[in-house]
Amino acid sequence: MRILLARHLRTRGSLQQVPEEMSKASKDSMERLHGAIADKLSDTIRNMEAGDKGLAALLNVARQFLKDNGIDSVATETNPVGKVADAVSKHPFDPAESLKHH
């Protein structure tokens, strides 16, 4: 398991990249753990309300979890990512302008 975690952290790859010498029981345990993390993140986010303490941090953990597992999305007019992109586009951001105020 230590080998897998080290390899995962080093490559930032998917947990599905398991060493050949890992036993089937260990691989199954890691897959169950991975699934449990995904389920817990999903359930916790679903049960939180906007403004709840820790929600922003939890969303960031979920974002990184998805990124680490190669999950991404293309924005369309009807999907949630597209709705976020539309909302953000209504608030233009100029990094150079933002730096002037700090």
pLDDT score recorded for residue 44: 93
- Please check whether residues 46 and 64 belong to one and the same domain: yes
30 contact partners, CB below 8 Å, separation of at least 6: 1, 4, 15, 18, 22
- Please check whether residues 53 and 80 belong to one and the same domain: no
* pLDDT mean for each 10 residues of the chain (102 residues): 44 55 81 93 91 91 91 88 83 73 62
- Is the pTM value of this prediction over 0.75? no
- Strand blocks (E) in the chain: none
Query: Do residues 30 and 15 lie in contact, with contact meaning Cβ atoms separated by under 8 Å?
Result: yes
- Residue 31's nearest CA partner among 70, 68, 1 is 1
d(CA 68, CA 51): 26
Domain that holds residue 21: 2-71
- Please check whether residues 60 and 100 belong to one and the same domain: no
pLDDT score recorded for residue 62: 93
- Please check whether residues 65 and 88 belong to one and the same domain: no
